Amino acid sequence: MPLEGHWRRINTPLRRLTTRERNVAIGVVALTLAAIVAVVIVTLPHSRPAPAPGCIYAIVAGFTGAEPVDACGDKARRICDNRTQEGDPGAAAIRESCRQAGLL
């Protein structure tokens, strides 16, 4: 059987926050949100720089997940010559990277 005034006693906070404490809490939350937005804005457009001229960079499927193909110079030309004749999706990604590098 519920007791008289029991719910009110249980759900009443021990004390109210002062105006200063509330303002500090609001300031901390606002500062945290501003920092998160700033980090996202700064890092968003620079996720990965473009490869240097004559270099290729592509992500292809590997045995344990995604595998980067990153090469420059003669090695890039060899990879472009060997992999562009294949029909798999990895070869298509390498072919696109070779086109962008001007090796095809």
pLDDT in tens, 42-90: 888 766 777 778 889 988 888 888 888 888 988 988 888 887 777 777 8
Q: What is the pLDDT of residues 24-33, one digit of tens each?
A: 999 999 999 9
Higher pLDDT, 1 or 38: 38
H-helix segments, the chain: 6-11, 19-43, 73-83, 89-101
Say what the pLDDT of residue 35 is. Answer: 98
49 domain-assigned = no
Distance CA 9, CA 5 (A): 6
Q: Which domain holds residue 83?
A: 55-101
Q: Does 91 lie in the same domain as 63?
A: yes
CB atoms within 10 A of CB 91: 16
Q: Is 78 helix (H, G, I), strand (E, B) or coil?
A: helix
Q: Does 96 lie in the same domain as 59?
A: yes
How many structural domains is the chain composed of? 2
1 domain-assigned = no
Distance CA 100, CA 21 (A): 57
**Confidence band, pLDDT 50/70/90 cuts, at residue 6:** confident
